Structure 1
Amino acid sequence: MTGKKLLIKHAAELITCAGAAPKKGAAMADIGIISDGALVAEAGKIVWVGPTDDLPPDSEEQCEVIDATGQCVMPGFVDSHTHMVFGGYRPEEFFWRLAGTPYLEILERGGGILNTVQATRSASLAELKDLAARRLENMLAMGVTTVEGKSGYGLDLDTELRQLAVMDELNREQPVEIVPTFLGAHAVPPDYKGRTDDYVDYMIKEVLPAVVRQGVAEFCDVFCEQGVFSLAQSRRLLAAAKNMGLQAKLHADEIVSLGGAELAAELNACSADHLLQASDAGIAALSQVRTVATVLPMTAFCLRESYARARVMIDQGAAVALATDYNPGSCFSHSMPLVAALAAIQLNMKPAEIVTALTINGAAAVNRADRIGSLEIGKQADVVILGYPSHLYLVYHAGMNIVDKVIKHGRLIWNKSGRKQHGKEQ
């Protein structure tokens, strides 16, 4: 399709989600539906959007034309929280948890995050890259056009840089856009047991400067949690990262109500993620800032934990995004259909709010709302076409992948046959 314009016409619904900032509160239900909609893209950008009857004359000349009759056209999904670059798997641990085995016993059996750290440290760049590339193809098939990827399975200098290098290479070689995040503060490695402050010092003095010199990571994240990294330690690390040019993200209030949401608001972090145990004060704080509350319902589902209070967050005026938390431990799934179903059934989110949370708010959670996440003139032409006429089917056809076509930078790159149409444009 290189050199041609793209025209999508006769969409039963064309959903714009227009905006260049996170949609907050009641605004999340405003998704801008155009009936019998059309879109024209050129050179990777959207140049026209509106009703098909209003298309400019000769719109189909020199265009690749997609007739979306009976289908819903919407922005590409943004999965704004994943741990997609890792070595090894932990299937036994999943069933240990279901049987009620305590986490400390799982660690004694060789499970937990340190299991993945060992496997990732042992894997070469080529091995990690091959694994991640296959995962990205599966994400693409579910309509994901942009994905955030975290390091954090090295907890040392070399492996953290290797994970980020994998993302950098894949960003150039395949169509799904990757947003790299440095998560060196994912856990405390055994050689720093009982010396968490020393590990934070190591991150700040040795690892962060090397990450910045590498020039791949855009964000610094930290697992701010009881028994992992305290509020003070998280604040110190993120302040240092900000001084070095990285934006802040937080794993916040996942296991206990520690005050992570309040810290994220205090730091004007780009996002605060998990939030299963976020306090009323934390939710109120998030509603006053642009920090996106990223909820990860599949993790609660897999862990049999209570869900984040997304309904309260929206009703109080916060901006909510939805993401998968794809990782080899607590959520070995990148199913956007399951995320959408859980958001409606367990989080009590409205269908339109779910669309917003998967698109423009997901884009805002990775600081890209000015470029992606909506279908409007000047935005990147990242588009998903559903096999049904309405966005309601995202939830109604519960847990099923209803994506028919995926377009990235104005180029058709996947269709329902599961076969990629084009490689990444050079």
Structure 2
Amino acid sequence: MTTKPIDLLIYNIGTLLTLQGSNGPRKGAEMSELSPITGGAVAIQGERIFAVGTEEDVRAQIAGMTIIQSIDARGQLVTPGLVDPHTHLVHGGSREHELALKLQGASYLEILAQGGGILSTVRATRTATEFELYQKAKRSLDIMLKYGVTTVESKSGYGLTLEDELKQLRVTQRLHETHPVDLVSTFMGAHMVPEEYKGRSDEYVQLLINEMLPAVKQQGLAEFCDVFCEHGVFSVEQSERILSAARDLGFGLKIHADEIEPMGGANLAGKLGCISAEHLLAASDEGLRSMQQAGVIAVCLPATSFNLRLKNHARARTMIEMELPVALSTDYNPGSSPTESMQLVMTLACLNLEMIPEEVLTAITINAAHAIGRADEIGSLEVGKLADLVMYNANNLAYLPYHFGINHVNTVIKRGNIVVSDGHFFSK
């Protein structure tokens, strides 16, 4: 019997942060307990991790096995591949013209009421071809990968007709099949009431429930359903109707909750048992407690509140103290958060959300993986999990958010393959 070889051995790791040992999303003090390994190594066989730990232990486990390729980490920091659990990746156009409006004092909801914001992107997305949407989204995925992100959640919501929503979702599916980054698809036809349904939002809700959700499910184009529960968008009652219908069809549930005004979206997330609730800047203590009791993950988006120039941010410190699991994301989108950089999010989470670097790393790895239902495969470096990991031009975690505005990534391994080396895409 021939023993399979080790396809890749990474050794001489200065600090190895595995995020091992949690049965569910980390919360409270668990979020800062990383148990770093000094002088670590990771052995990879095929797509999966064969051994991980100190170099001495790993070499003992693979003694006598053929090693196809080795990488000397030269004392660098190594973490799991980063997970971005909330993006609006596939869209047409851009909205740089709104910057002047924001500087003149216009709020997010005021720009939206003037026909800008999401509705502007809807118009651009409807006129774009699938090929154009694919090429634009691929460029963003390339950036994310170079910045250490190996799995991304992608929402629709810029079509707002059945065919245009399906168009976005097909692009996400094609990207998942052709790009090294793994994508998790979310249907968000309830991102906005389209202009043609202005003043008739209940009719649009019925369209979502009766036609869009069943069609998306039948074609297998999305795993989750999300709703923007916000003043002037979808009410709590409308959001509950949509999400309940989605649950009946077998979708996992997500919700944009209490982003601008305290609508009670966090309470609804707890009531329905959503896998995650996003934004939460205006969420009440009662709403957060409802989420905590129901096991809902709080996905905080500090780049969004930063870019919208809001005075308040998500209360991540309060959430952690009440043992509500916190994840972080870019919220990459063309309006409120036009950035693909999870490393920028790390800095903003420290400065504006009062999170420490250890909590931040937990939030963008294992907790983010739980927020998209993938923690059994990604989010930590453990035997049997997918070999998604990142090596940085740094020897400690705190250096990443401290030295901001640059890309610290040296090497990215995705499913056991070197996809980024020395900061550039790797080709054999």
- Opposite residue 7 of structure 1, the aligned amino acid is L
Deviations 1:187-215 (A, max 9, x none): 00112111111111100101111100110
After TM superposition, the score normalised by the length of structure 1 is 0.96
Distance 1:149 1:361 in 2: 17
For residue 80 of structure 1, the aligned residue among 62, 80, 85 is 85
Change (3 A) 1:104 1:48: closer
In structure 2, the residue matched to 1:277 is: 282
Who is 1:192 aligned against? 197
Counterpart-to-counterpart distance in 1, 2:130 and 2:97: 26
> Given the superposition, is the C-alpha separation of residues 98 and 113 from structure 1 closer, same or farther in structure 2, using an over 3 Å criterion?
same
Contact 1:89–1:116 (CA<8 Å) still a contact in 2? yes
Q: Which residue of 1 aligns with 2:10?
A: 8
Task: Give yes or no for contact 1:20–1:370 (8 Å, CA) kept in 2.
Answer: no
Q: 1:102 to 1:28 in 2, by over 3 A?
A: closer
Alignment of 1:58-73 (within 5 A): 58=63, 61-73=66-78
Per-residue deviation at 1:20?
Answer: 4.5
**1:4 to 1:172, Cα distance in 2 relative to 1, 3 A:** farther
Change (3 A) 1:196 1:383: same
1:21/1:370 contact within 8 Å kept:
no
Following TM superposition, by how much is the alpha carbon of 1:64 offset from its aligned partner in structure 2, in angstroms?
Answer: 1.4
2:344 counterpart of 1:338: yes
Q: Which residue of 1 aligns with 2:408?
A: 402
Q: Please name the residue that 1:35 is paired with.
A: 38
> SS at 1:133's partner residue?
helix
Distance change (3 Å), C-alpha of 1:236 and 1:100: same
Measure the CA separation in 1 of the matches of 2:169 and 2:397: 35
CA shift, 1:104, in A, is 6.4
Alpha carbons 1:264, 1:271 under 8 Å: kept: yes
Residue 419 of structure 1: aligned partner: 425
After TM superposition, give the deviation of residue 310 of structure 1 in Å. 0.2
Cα distance in 1 between the residues matched to 2:340 and 2:253: 23
Output the CA distance in 2 between the equivalents of 1:324 and 1:82. Answer: 7
* Pair 1:252 & 2:257 matched: yes
State whether structure 2 residue 182 is matched by structure 1 residue 182.
no
Instruction: State the alpha-carbon separation in 1 of the partners of residues 426 and 248 from structure 2.
Output: 41
The match for 1:317 is 323
Please report how far the alpha carbon of residue 59 of structure 1 lies from its aligned counterpart in structure 2 after TM superposition.
Answer: 6.5
Match of 2:105 among 100, 103, 106: 100
1:173-322 → structure 2 map (5 Å cutoff) = 173-305=178-310, 306-322=312-328
Report the Cα offset of residue 108 of structure 1.
7.0
C-alpha distance in 2 between matches for 1:140 and 1:107? 31
Matched, 1:350 2:353: no
2:382 to 350, 373, 376: 376
Report the Cα offset of residue 360 of structure 1: 0.2
User: What does the per-residue CA deviation read over 1:289-343, in whole Å, with 9 as the maximum and x for residues that have no partner?
Assistant: 3211000000000001111000000011010000001101111111112100011
Name the CA distance, whole Å, in 2 between partners of 1:108 and 1:251: 19
Deviates more, 1:43-52 or 1:57-66: 57-66
RMSD in angstroms over aligned alpha carbons?
Answer: 1.6
Match of 2:19 among 17, 20, 32: 17
Count of aligned positions: 421
Q: TM-score, normalised by structure 2?
A: 0.95
TM-fit CA distance, 1:105: 5.8
After superposition, what is the alpha-carbon deviation per residue over 1:76-103, rounded to whole angstroms, capped at 9, x for unaligned? Answer: 0000000010001111112211221355
Distance 1:59 1:385 in 2: 27
2-structure distance, mates of 1:60, 1:304? 56
**Matching residue's letter, 1:229:** F
- Which residue, 163, 166, 190 being the options, matches 1:158? 163
State how far apart, in whole Å, the 1-side matches of 2:398 and 2:171 are.
36
Q: Tell me if the contact between 1:90 and 1:329 (Cα under 8 Å) persists in the aligned partners.
A: yes
SS of the residue corresponding to residue 421 of structure 1 reads coil
Give unpaired runs (5+ residues) of structure 1: none
Q: Compare relative contact order (CA 8 Å, sep 6+) and give the higher one, 1 or 2.
A: 1
1:365 pairs with one of 354, 359, 371: 371
Contact map agreement 2:369 2:379 (CA 8 A) in 1: yes
1:265 deviation in Å?
1.3
Q: Percent identity?
A: 50
Structure 1 letter corresponding to 2:27: K
The answer to whether the 8 Å contact 1:310/1:320 transfers is yes
